[in-house]
Structure 1
Amino acid sequence: MLKRIGTLKRIALIVFFVWTIIAAALASDLFFSSKENVKKRATEEASAVITYFLTISDWLVKNSPVLERNIVKDIAKIGGEKNRQKLNEKMILVQMDVGSPEVFLILVKKDLNFQTDNYKLENWQNIFIKQLMTSGEAGLFIDEVGKEEFVRALEPIVMNNECAICKLFNIKNIEQYIGGIFVSVAISTELSQSYSHIWNMVGSIFVIWLLGLAAIIYGYKKASSALARRLRNYEESIYNLVDIIEKRDSYTAGHTQRVAKYASLIANHLKVSQFNKDLLYRASMLHDIGKISTPDSILLKPGKLNELEYKIIKNHVTTSYEILSKVSIYKDIAEIVRHHHEYYDGSGYPQALKGDQIPFLSQILTVADGFDAMTTDRIYKARKTVSETIAEISQLSGHQFNPVIVKSAIVVLSKVNIDDKVAQLPESDLQHERFSYFYKDNLTHAYNKKYLELLLTKQPHELAKYKYALLIKVHNFTQYNAQNSWEKGDEKLQEIVSTLQAIGKNQLVFRLFGDDFILLLNNRINSSQKDNILRNEVQGTCLLYSTCYVNLKNRKPISIKELESLVGTKA
């Protein structure tokens, strides 16, 4: 999901840049092509003027009844009498008065000498006259004069008896002359008008660009809003799933939160990207989701697992992967969760990957998971201190853990404060009921010998809550069963345990053997209450009972065998 949001941002930026480039390219193309277009139009205009001049000359010749009389008037119609110049006997120049462009008719004798003959022409006209004398071909070029540009064009005149121009000017000895129509078109004016039009078009392009940009922003906001809603649902789904785990196993819930915290600390020190840190956090919160399918008898077992149970619980990583990979919003973290029990040397599960074959984020999760397991009390194993845990993680560097990650873990986890209240012992009524599945007597619901042994050997800090142990031995129970039946004997045992459990709060009742009981107490009960503790239960029966106290506070740790011995001797 996070990857999709990042992809959406990249797509939006790409579309924005492409759209901007297109708009800029269109605007630039208008400016760069405008000059070429103006030159092209100027060239076409020059050609059109030449064609017009030749056409009108033919028309004048054909429609003048008497050429000798009307020639001057007809020429005046074209260019005006004042524009006709006879520079000398070897050159005739007529500037046609047609406004823009400038049109000149220039006729020169073939024997014109540029070095000695006196004539006044512009430089571009001289270039064309030389071209007429050498090749006689038409010409066209772009001429720059200062900051101005012009299109200069030449159309040669065929000097023969059919030459309309020659007839108009009554030129004798035609074969001695060469000439042509000279046209000059100023580009600057055209370019100025073109730029004015271009700026209008650029303004239109800018408006279109703004509309496109608005569409991109709107589309991005709509899409990102939809993804944001999905992301919120994603977050809610994650914590709902975590809540399911919490309700099933409070230890696992606290474990996932702590592992997520430790993994984030390590990732920060390793300078993992924010995107990957978010993935790692979510993977940490759900890394044990597969335990949903683990039987309660294994998942909630407060003791050490046997070989078969361990094999079953290992399947939770594969189950986690299968659950997460089938949901699109969880696919990003499915692979991380799948491999968080792989070890660096290849001795882990489920695929026995090693080294760089294991996803890096999974390797971080492995260290965080191991750190929490070592620093948390289990029923069958006391917690290690932070310094002890760091030392063990260092020893496992290169074997169970990635050495690079271990270096960062040592730095950040050495400063962690461990909550010493975190344990696997039951707290709520529901947890007590689950706990009873393993450590309570099925008949009387008193705690069994196995739990007492666990407190004495594995949970000394839990045992330290109690100052005294009251040992109670009930006699003649075999006789009672024979007189009243086994069923009545079971009812009597339940009655005895109910009485003992009602003595006070914060005390534990154990059924040690068939008819032996131990109470762990915070405070001593008075002698009278002790001596009459089961008076009502044994009255009128063959049953008897005996009691004795063991002071737990002022003696060294006691074993289950010692308690068994005390029950026997004191009785």
Structure 2
Amino acid sequence: MSSRVKFLNKITYIVVFVWTFIMFVAGFVLVYKNYEYANVLAKHEAVVSVKKDLAYRSWVASHGGVYVPITEKTPPNPYLSHIPNRDVNTSDNQQLTLMNPAYTLSQMMQDYSQLYGTKGHITSSILMNPKNKPDEWEAEQLNIIEKTKKPSYKKAVIEGKEFFRYISPLQTKESCLKCHAFQGYKVGDIRGGVSVSIPMQKYYEEAYSLSSINVLIIFLIYLLGLFLISYGRKKAKEILKNKIKDYEQHIFSLVNIIEKRDSYTAGHTQRVANYSTAIAKEMGFKEDVIDDLYRACMLHDIGKISTPDSILLKPGSLTSLEYEIIKEHVVVSYELLSKVDIYKNIAEIVRHHHEHYNGAGYPNGLKGSEIPILSQIMTVADAFDAMTTNRIYKSRKSVKDAIVELNDLSQKQFNPKIVKAASKALKNIKVETTITQRPKTKIEKERFSYFYRDQVCGVYNTSYLELVLTYNHTDEFDVKCINVINLHNFNQYNQQNSWTKGDRLLKKFAQRLLKINTSDFVFRIHGDDFVIINKTHFTLDDKLSSLEEILEDTGIYITYKHFDIEEDDIKNTNDLEKLLQV
């Protein structure tokens, strides 16, 4: 996988994390706010309840208390015995008793608690009625409100249930002195407080219900967000992959063009990629690593775009200078790939695929574990392909022999672990036997002639004759006879007429040989002699007159010899030279 795809995945994970965090915080805040609002509502109810109690008490106080019939529920208040006319009889003989503000409020609070669960209590530090004794919290708050003269509140647990407790200071007024003057209170004194305890359960139930709806909505929004992120990632990945695919198609097309410069390298990168993949799978590498290796193999020779044709296509041995120039292709490959974002992660693999395990490779002479492991795999695959394909001066090896050679070079050129894996992975590989560096088509032969064409006559030279004879009876060559044509007195002609005219005559003579020959295997040797090779036996007896016509009035005459390649056991130019000297 390319670095851009990995970066996209990384960004996606970050976005998902941030989105999850945002939704979690949003859900938490909403739930928190719902429960906080429950406290606000409870406080609001408490304030309203206390204000209602104080308003009721104020009304009773403004009337100096109220008389009510004496009943079991409203007996005479013993704590008002100091007040004259606490109990009175009506004209119809009905007994009434005085209920001061505290007495009426206390009974009203009791009834309200039974009906709605709200606990009300009138209390004081200086008691007239023991029933108004403050509890622990009320006692603590009374000390505070006597100083602050402001309400106080807190959530607390009463009998195992949570309540919102609120207490408001009870300020002494003129109307209060009727009952409380004997306690020493003066107008304006804080003589106690009115407290209320609101049960939180109903508010918590509402908060829970609302929070459940909020969480469900948040969760649905979260899922929608994940879907949109996933969809966006998918579309971005498709766009990125299509962009990378298009880019790679252009790059691979460039590689294909480079390969077409040389008949041998055509298909070489694909074969190396296939061999490398097989080895990597045998070694247990993950799919994304194998994918990087495959792409590196497909581009490992892209640097050859800078290698001159005269070196890249040279079929023979390279000079030391030419070898140094061709070695530069790995550095060029690295420089090209490292500048392209999608290939940065494979540039190093390509750079070191010609390093040797013993440090004798190039470009940096790395050895052992210093060489990237994927580069080492490519090195083995590259060598295996070279061993199993035909070269100009070296025939291909069988798969079995190639694996033997890989093992012979283990610990030297190759990593022994990779050789072991390659021996298993490549043992059943089917290698195309037609892969060769030797020319087959007319175009390939013409390109080949750059190195083997005689510059004067346009026919082949002695080097190519050596090649044909050496590799006769192969897929590329299968010739049976040789005709050697000697031109006598040619030096005299050159001396008399100039070398330029001599070259023109040689070219004209060579062209006539091409016309009378049934194959295109015509070679110039020894300066002024020619060789014709044919796949069928062919003599010049009936062709001499046509050739001699070219040499008329030149003083040059022709002799020729015919040889059967198989009978005369001709395997190279040395064998031919020996026969010519007989």
> Which residue is equivalent to 2:156?
142
Deviation at 1:274, TM superposition (A): 2.4
Task: State the match for 1:116 in structure 2.
Answer: none
Q: Kindly provide the CA deviation profile for residues 165-200 of structure 1, in whole angstroms up to 9, marking residues without a partner as x.
A: 685xx5797589x98634231222222333343344
Structure 2 CA distance for aligned equivalents of residues 87 and 13 of structure 1: 78
In structure 1, how many angstroms separate the alpha carbons of the residues matched to 2:471 and 2:242? 49
In 2 relative to 1, CA 344–81 (structure 1 residues): closer, same or farther, beyond 3 Å?
farther
Q: Residue 360 of structure 1 is aligned with which of 350, 364, 373? A: 373
Match of 2:403 in 1: 390
Q: Return the match for 1:324 from 337, 342, 345.
A: 337
Matched, 1:6 2:16: no
Q: Does residue 425 in structure 1 map to residue 438 in structure 2?
A: yes
What amino acid sits opposite 2:547 in the alignment?
A: E
Question: Mapping of 1:233-272 within 5 angstroms?
Answer: 233-272=246-285
- Mapped to 2, the partners of 1:371 and 1:411 lie a distance apart of 13
CA positional deviation for 1:352 = 1.6
| 1:356, distance to aligned residue in structure 2 (A) | 2.4
Question: Per the alignment, do residues 423 and 463 of structure 1 end up closer, same or farther by CA in structure 2, a change over 3 Å counting?
Answer: closer
The Cα of 1:305 is off from its aligned counterpart by 0.8
What SS does the corresponding residue of 1:335 show, helix, strand or coil? Answer: helix
Q: Which residues of 2 match residues 16-95 of structure 1 at below 5 A?
A: 16-31=16-31, 34-35=34-35, 37-39=37-39, 41-43=41-43, 45-54=45-54, 56-58=56-58, 60-61=60-61, 63-64=62-63, 67=64, 71-72=65-66, 85=74, 89=78, 93-95=106-108
- 2:88 is aligned to none
**Structure 1 residue 533 corresponds to structure 2 residue 543:** yes
Q: Partner of 2:108: helix, strand, or coil?
A: strand
Deviation track 1:294-346 (CA, whole Å, cap 9, x = no partner) reads 22221111101111111111111112222222333332322221111122222
Indicate whether 1:553 and 2:566 are aligned: yes
Q: Tell me the alpha carbon deviations over residues 498-543 of structure 1, each in whole angstroms, 9 at most, x when there is no partner.
A: 2332345555222222232222211113xxx630223112144444
Q: Which of 358, 362, 373 is residue 345 of structure 1 equivalent to?
A: 358
Equivalent-residue separation in structure 2 for 1:255 and 1:131 (angstroms): 91
Q: 2:194, 2:167 → 1: CA distance?
A: 6
1: CA distance, partners of 2:52 / 2:485: 136
Matched, 1:102 2:118: yes
- 1:134-176 alpha-carbon deviations (Å, 9 max, x no partner): 9965885533667x64335566868xx8596685xx5797589
Residues 515 and 565 (structure 1 numbering): CA distance in 2 closer, same or farther, change over 3 Å?
farther
> What is the distance in 2 between the residues matched to 1:85 and 1:405?
105
Q: What is the deviation of 1:258? A: 1.6
1: CA distance between counterparts of 2:530 and 2:341? Answer: 57
Cα distance in 1, alignment partners of residues 369 and 463 from structure 2:
44
Asked if the contact 1:83–1:95 (Cα under 8 Å) also holds between the matched residues in 2, the reply is: no
Instruction: Tell me the CA shift for residue 497 of structure 1.
Output: 2.3
User: 3-state DSSP class of the match of 2:485?
Assistant: strand
Q: Tell me if the contact between 1:152 and 1:184 (Cα under 8 Å) persists in the aligned partners.
A: yes
SS at match of 1:469: strand
Distance 1:83 1:382 in 2: 127
| 2:382 match | 369
Which of residues 507, 511, 514 is equivalent to 1:494?
507
Counterparts of 1:84 and 1:256, CA distance in 2: 107
Match of 2:459 among 418, 433, 446: 446
Contact map agreement 1:339 1:359 (CA 8 A) in 2:
yes
1:220 and 1:82 mapped to 2: Cα distance?
Answer: 81
Between 1:254-263 and 1:498-507, the stretch displaced more is 498-507
**Are positions 1:380 and 2:393 aligned together?**
yes
Q: Which amino acid letter does the alignment assign opposite residue 104 of structure 1? A: G
Match of 1:475?
A: 488
- Could you tell me which runs of 5 or more consecutive residues in structure 2 were left unpaired when the two chains were aligned: 80-101, 145-152, 186-190
Q: Residues 61-210 of structure 1 correspond to what in structure 2 (within 5 A)? A: 61=61, 63-64=62-63, 67=64, 71-72=65-66, 85=74, 89=78, 93-96=106-109, 102-105=118-121, 128-129=134-135, 141-143=155-157, 149-153=162-166, 167=178, 170=179, 181-202=194-215, 204-206=217-219, 208-209=221-222
Give 2:299's aligned residue: 286
Q: CA separation in 1, counterparts of 2:251 and 2:342?
A: 10
1:232 to 245, 266, 272: 245
Q: 1:314 — aligned with what?
A: 327
Question: In 2 relative to 1, CA 215–130 (structure 1 residues): closer, same or farther, beyond 3 Å?
Answer: closer
State the match for 1:512 in structure 2.
Answer: 525
Separation (CA, whole Å) in 1 of partners of 2:487 and 2:426? 53
SS in 2 for 1:184: strand
TM-score by length of 2: 0.80
From the superposition, tell whether residues 336 and 85 of structure 1 become closer, same or farther in structure 2 (CA, over 3 Å). farther
| SS of alignment partner, residue 514 of structure 1 | coil
Q: Aligned in 2, Cα 1:419/1:87: closer, same or farther, shift over 3 Å? A: farther
Task: Indicate how the Cα distance of structure 1 residues 388 and 163 shifts in structure 2: closer, same or farther if over 3 A, else same.
Answer: farther
Q: Indicate the SS of the match to 1:519.
A: strand
Aligned partner letter, 1:5: V
Whole-Å separation in 2 of the counterparts to 1:83 and 1:439? 137
Name stretches of at least 5 consecutive residues in structure 1 with no aligned partner. Answer: 114-118, 120-124
User: Is it true that 1:298 corresponds to 2:311 in the alignment?
Assistant: yes
Deviations 1:446-484 (A, max 9, x none): 221122223334666367511222233333333554565
Name whichever of 316-325 and 52-61 sits farther off: 52-61
Offset, 1:563: 0.7
User: In 2, are the aligned partners of 1:344 and 1:355 still within 8 Å (CA)?
Assistant: yes
Alpha-carbon shift at residue 438 of structure 1 (Å): 1.5
Aligned to 2:96: none
Matched residue type, 1:547:
Y
> In structure 1, what is the Cα distance between the partners aligned to 2:249 and 2:207?
62
CA contact (8 A) 1:531 1:547 kept: no
Mean alpha-carbon deviation: is it higher for 355-364 or for 542-551?
542-551
TM superposition score normalised by structure 1: 0.81
- Secondary structure at the aligned position of 2:321 is classed as helix
Q: Read off the aligned partner of 1:49 and give its amino acid letter.
A: S
